[in-house]
Amino acid sequence: MLMNSILSTMIWLPILAGVVLLFIGDGDQRKHNIIRYLSLSASIVTLLLGIWLYFEFDNTTHSMQFIEQATWIASLNIEYYLGVDGISVPLILLTVFITPFVVASSWDVIKVRPAQYFAAFLILEGLMIGVFSALDAILFYVFWEAMLVPMFLIIGIWGGERRVYATLKFFLYTFLGSVLMLVSFIYLYGQTANFNLLSFMAAPLSLLEQQLIFIALLLAFAVKVPMWPVHTWLPDAHVEAPTGGSVILAAIMLKMGGYGFIRLSMPITPDASEYFSFMMIVLSLIAVTYIGFVALMQKDMKKLIAYSSIAHMGFVTLGFFIVWSFSTTTEGALGVTGAMVQMISHGLISGAMFLCVGVLYDRMHSREIAAYGGVANTMPVFAAFMVLFSMANAGLPGTSGFVGEFMVILASFKANIWYGFLAATTLILGAAYTLWMVKRVLYGEVANDNVAKLTDLNDREFYILGALAISVLMVGIWPAPMIDVMSATIEQLMLQISETKIVGVDL
Amino acid sequence: MDMQTLVLASAEIFLLTMICVVLVVDLFVTDQNRTITFGLSLASLVGTGFLVLSNTPATTQYLFDGSYVSDPLAGLLKMASIVMVGIGFIYSRSYLIQSKLMKGEFFLLSLFGLLGILIMISANSLLIMYLGLETLALSLYALVAFERNSRDAAESAMKYFILGAIASGSLLYGISWVYGVTGAIEFNEIATAIANDPSLNSLPLWFGVSFMIVGIAFKFGAVPFHMWLPDVYQGARTPVTLFIATAPKLAAFALIYRVLVDGLGDLHASWQAIIMIISLLSMVLGNIVAIAQTNIKRMLGYSAIGHVGFIFAGIFTGSQIGYSAALFYSLTYVLMAAGAFGLVIILSDQKEAESLEDFKGLGQRNPWLAMLMLFIMLGMAGIPPWVGFFAKLTIINTVVEAGFTWFAIVMVLSSVIGAFYYLRVIWYMYFEKAVNTKAINMGKDIGLVASLNGLLILGLGIFPAALMQYCLSVIN
């Protein structure tokens, strides 16, 4: 029975646990413990279900698996329709993998309203899994928008000084981006008479229709990724969010944008995607290069990582839209696979980087690079981890950061030498801004008394960072298990987008 | 007049009788025992509701020589209005006692207003419609001025009365033209007359219809006939505002549906543009001006104008699904409005909690109430999975289906603007420290009603199908 409803279980279990936490409420130490252990166990059970999903998943086929389908709103033909393929499974795994770390990293840091804090993260986890597994457009939209609410509260309640500004900007920016997506879903409903994403993909559309739908979807996904020039909400949100919020935001929520492109934009509007592919490539390259320079100049560690995220996500969109520069599908598949790997890898690395900053922030209550210096002298174990993650962020071979970037750069060189050249600058820029930060924060003389008083990682922090370090190295050294999951689906996608959907006369 | 007629109109007859009973009983009740009036009023609502529930026919029935209609649509709207008034009474009781306004007049005037609403909902002739409208309007004028020593209340009542009288005059003038052209005052006969003689569909009739639309738009508070609404919402005591913001909106829906669809459906091409412009202006202006408000009642007033724009958008498409979407929107909107004003009433203690500041730190003071308010605000903003989203979805869907995709884009953009001021309430509740840290005491009944109200907004959002289907079936 569980087999048939594993996706529903993974969505609703954390949400229910979150609701239970809200009812338990805050109180004395005993209650506090109940809350923490309950949320940790809920997230770990979800993780175990995710692992089981991975092993039960059939790599050889591109069709949707673990399908659940039931009527939800009959009068509008809206269904509760879930299913996963090779694109969604890795992202779901990322989600269930990161959430326990977020819970653990907040273990005794959150003093204000901890029940609501943990509840928000668990509810968020369920909603994110929902986004990755929804196959009905309205269901997808419901999860997509509902996700904003816990994040809005997380940044607003537990955030830094300018949290209200940051969280309102985050909410309104993403809300503005996504409402037009809703209109385009309703327009497609007018064409197909249902909200089934698979039938949207099959619906014939004229070029003009496709272009308008593409732009509507682009607004939603570009804001989420975020692409230059609609990225400005991200540094603010990251800087003001509590550590856990930053981790979820960088590791998973940004991936929603990439997922949107590959799940919706490319298959539903393939001709428009081809039409706009040059623009998308240019925007991606601007993100990679220009934002790389911007990151170099940051004085705030979280802001630096936020800009580095934008640059790295540029690789994702580059990998997706470079597909149309090739005549054969195998090279296109290389770019898309690279982009997918980059999403997973960036999820792990950026999550780990924000956790590292969180470790420092919990001790010193400062995110300024200038407030640190010589941390390696007092926190050697921590320094080792941070150097590893920074290297991964810079794309060192052997770490996960290398695999995705390398595949995308390779595909770019095959497409056009200048694309490849500009994309490859990230190897220099990424190394420059990350390692320069590491140098200023970790190395040198002990800068001040506060740094001198720092204590190294406690057990909890050690295991969190250790597990992430292992996973970063695993994906870097042996990415095959992950790529195998995707390959059948990506091949099918290549076939799907190479066929035009234009029929009949233009509008 | 046969027995059948009396049965179908029994709810109204019962309510009128009970109003007389309450009126007499209240004369002999001292201020300390005013709860008797309260209880009796609630009992009359329960009785009326029961009669509506048991006597709503499955098909349309005309009574009193065709001037009165009883159909499932009327049953639904009446039931919802009665529930809204009942919720309003429960929310208001301790507030009225605290502010020494626990008078029989409040309940009497509300019940009279409800009687007017029921008559409007079931009216099948222009004159009966007008009769119901005036019964409602006169009760509302008096209710707004109910606190006699308050200058604000007197001012807004005066404003409401004068503008309302002009609107009623305009409606009546329009009615006379429509009657003059078609020679009929019953809605179905007007429709027949126009269908039989298409030459009637010409300038004189359009002229009359325009005047009627002015009257209708005024009752809804749609732009550009909205000026009274924010002032009245702010000036009236919150229980009165709650009343004005809920049940009369359902009556206004009945008004627009009976007149424009039942009566003048064939003229759809003529009135479509007017309704569309009113809808557009209401959405945009309501949502933009609401941003500038610091008084929550006034803010909710402008927000109501914005919501009316959405209801009108469902009407102008001229399709069955459009009307049912507008009905669904009206029903869910009044549910949210009742909750919002209910919470303002709960937070009021000695003085009105009408400033946004009064919501500061509610997340700490009372997490449960704050969560309910969160549901209401997100519902109004149209964020899924709260029911407001599905209300907007159905409306946008009909607008796109009617071929007005550009209009749908304006709609979603205006709801993004709207999201800001709803989020601001959440911001004050959760992100700010409480100014007033006094615990909120409220009766069990109020807490229960508020909880049901808030949870219903979430519950209907997760399971909207049944109500949506029902709205569709009563419109067909």
Q: Which residues of B touch A169 (CB under 8 A)?
A: none
Contact at CB, A145 and B423, closer than 8 angstroms: no
CB spacing of B393 vs A76 below 8 angstroms:
yes
Query: B409 CB contacts (<8 Å, ≥6 apart)?
Result: A180, A183
The answer, yes or no, to whether residue A501 has pLDDT greater than 80, is: no
For residue A161, what is the nearest residue in chain B, using CA coordinates? B431
The confidence score (pLDDT) of residue A380 equals 86
Q: pLDDT tens, B381-406?
A: 989 889 999 999 999 999 998 889 89
Residue B26 has pLDDT above 80, yes or no: yes
**Above 80 in pLDDT, residue A312?**
yes
Structure confidence by residue, pLDDT tens digits, B207-229: 999 999 999 899 888 888 888 99
3-state secondary structure of A376: helix
Give the residue from A175, A211, A213 with the most B CB atoms within 10 Å of its CB, the best one to mutate: A175
Residue A507 has pLDDT above 60, yes or no: no
| Cis peptide preceding B385, ω within 30 of 0 | yes
Query: Over the Cα atoms of chain A, what is R_g?
Result: 22
Report the range of poorest mean pLDDT among B83-87, B103-107, B351-355.
Answer: B351-355
Residue of B nearest to A147 (CA): B384
* Residue pLDDT, tens place only, A270-295: 888 889 989 999 999 998 889 988 98
Mind telling me how many Å the CA of A177 is from chain B's nearest CA?
Answer: 10
In this prediction, residue B100 has a pLDDT band, given cuts at 50, 70 and 90, of confident
Q: How far is A425 from chain B (nearest CA, A)?
A: 38
Q: Read off the pLDDT band of B329 (50, 70, 90).
A: very high
DSSP code for A374: -
Q: Report the candidate in B137, B151, B131 with the shortest Cα–Cα distance to residue B64.
A: B131
Nearest to A57 by CA among A92, A27, A95, A33: A92
pLDDT for A505 equals 46
Q: Which of the residue ranges A212-226, A438-452, B206-220 would you say has the lowest mean pLDDT?
A: A438-452
Cβ proximity of B258 and B187 under 8 Å = yes
Of B409, B413, B464, the CB nearest to A73: B464
Q: Which of B384, B396, B420 sits opposite A145 (nearest CB)?
A: B384
CB contact under 8 A, A172 and B430: no
Please give the structure tokens belonging to residue A428: 């220099």
Q: What confidence score (pLDDT) does residue B282 get?
A: 93
For B152, residues 6+ apart whose C-beta sits below 8 A from its C-beta are B234, B235
Q: Is the pLDDT of residue B310 over 90?
A: yes
Reported confidence tier of residue B1, pLDDT bands at 50, 70, 90: low
CB A64 within 8 A of CB A84: yes
Q: pLDDT, tens digit, for every residue of A132-181? A: 999 999 999 999 999 999 999 999 888 878 888 889 988 998 998 889 99
pLDDT at residue A59, rounded to an integer:
84
Angle, in degrees to the nearest 10, between helices B367-381 and B405-431: 160
Q: What is the DSSP letter of B341?
A: H
Percentage of residues in chain A with pLDDT exceeding 70?
98
Q: Judge: B419–A183 Cβ closer than 8 Å, yes or no.
A: no
Reduced to 3 states (helix: H, G, I; strand: E, B; else coil), residue A114 is helix
DSSP alpha helix (H) spans, B99-202: 104-122, 126-144, 151-182, 187-196
pLDDT at A506: 45
Report which residue type is found at A261: F
- Residues of B near A (Cβ–Cβ under 8 Å) read 363-364, 367, 371, 378, 383-385, 389-390, 393-394, 396-397, 400-401, 405, 408-409, 412-413, 415-416, 419-420, 423, 426-427, 430-431, 464-465, 468-469, 472
State the Cα angle at B385 between B382 and B390, rounded to 5°.
55
CA distances from A195 to A116, A403, B397 (A): 34, 36, 12
* Residue to test with chain A: of B356, B375, B393, most A Cβ within 10 A: B393
- Residues A168 and A183: their CA atoms lie apart, in Å, by 23
User: Using CB atoms, which residue from B364, B371, B469 is nearest to A75?
Assistant: B469
Total-model pTM: 0.92
Q: Which residues of A touch B (CB under 8 A)?
A: 22, 25, 71-76, 113, 116, 138, 141-142, 145-146, 148-149, 152-153, 156-157, 163-164, 167-168, 171-172, 175-176, 179-180, 182-183, 186-187, 189-190
One-letter amino acid identity for A476? Answer: G
On chain A, the residues whose CB falls within 8 A of the CB of B419 are 171-172, 175
Residues of A in contact with B423 (CB under 8 A): 152, 168, 171-172
Query: How close does chain A come to B278, measured CA to CA in Å?
Result: 22
Cβ-nearest to B397 among A74, A141, A186? A186
Q: Enumerate the residues of chain B whose CB falls inside 8 A of the CB of residue A176.
A: 413, 416
Contact (CB, 8 A) for A249 and A241: yes
Q: Is the pLDDT of residue A504 over 60?
A: no
C-alpha A117/C-alpha A144 separation (Å) is 20
End-to-end CA distance of chain B: 29
CB-CB under 8 Å, A179 with B415: yes
Distance (Å) from the C-alpha of residue A250 to the closest C-alpha of chain B? 23
Compute the radius of gyration of chain B from its Cα atoms.
21
Proportion of chain A above pLDDT 90, given as a percent: 27
Contact between B423 and A152 using a beta-carbon 8 Å cutoff: yes
pLDDT of residue A122: 93
pLDDT-derived band at A366 (thresholds 50, 70, 90) equals confident
Least Cα separation, residue A214 to chain B (angstroms): 15
B423 contacts A168? CB cut-off 8 A: yes
Contact A141 B378 (CB under 8 A): no
Q: Nearest residue of B to residue A184 by CA position?
A: B405
Compute the average pLDDT of residues A228-253. 88
Query: How many Å is the maximal CA-CA distance in chain A?
Result: 74
CB pair distance less than 8 Å for A183 and B405: yes
Check if the beta carbon of residue A493 is closer than 8 Å to that of residue A391: no
> In this predicted structure, what is the pLDDT of residue B170?
93
Beta carbons of A221 and A265 less than 8 angstroms apart: yes
Chain B: closest CA distance from residue A234 (Å): 19
Report chain B residues whose CB lies below 8 A from the CB of A190: 400-401
Split at pLDDT 50, 70, 90, the class of A2 is low
At residue A411's C-alpha, the angle toward residues A410 and A413, to 5°, is: 65
pLDDT band at B350 (very low <50, low <70, confident <90, very high): low
Whether residue B430 and residue A186 make contact (CB cut-off 8 A), yes or no, is no
Task: Report which of B308, B369, B312 is spatially closest to residue B333, judged by C-alpha positions.
Answer: B308
Between chains, do B416 and A190 touch, taking CB under 8 Å as contact?
A: no
Residues of A in contact with B367 (CB under 8 A): 25, 116
- pLDDT tens digit sequence for A386-397: 899 998 988 888
DSSP H or E stretch at residue A476? helix A459-477
Higher local confidence (pLDDT), B174 or A327: B174
| Contact across the interface for B416 and A172, Cβ inside 8 Å | yes
Nearest to A357 by CA among A432, A430, A298, A441: A441
Angstrom distance (rounded) from CA A114 to CA B381: 27
Indicate the SS3 state at residue A194: coil
| Residue range A184-194: mean pLDDT, rounded | 89
Please indicate whether, in this complex, the C-beta atoms of B400 and A190 are within 8 angstroms of each other. yes
B387, B431, B451: which to substitute to probe chain A, counting the most A Cβ within 10 Å?
A: B431
Q: Give CA angle at A348 (A346, A349), nearest 5°.
A: 65
| pLDDT for A244 | 87
Q: Count Cβ–Cβ pairs < 8 Å, chain A vs chain B.
A: 91
Distance in angstroms (rounded) separating the CA atoms of residues B121 and A232: 51
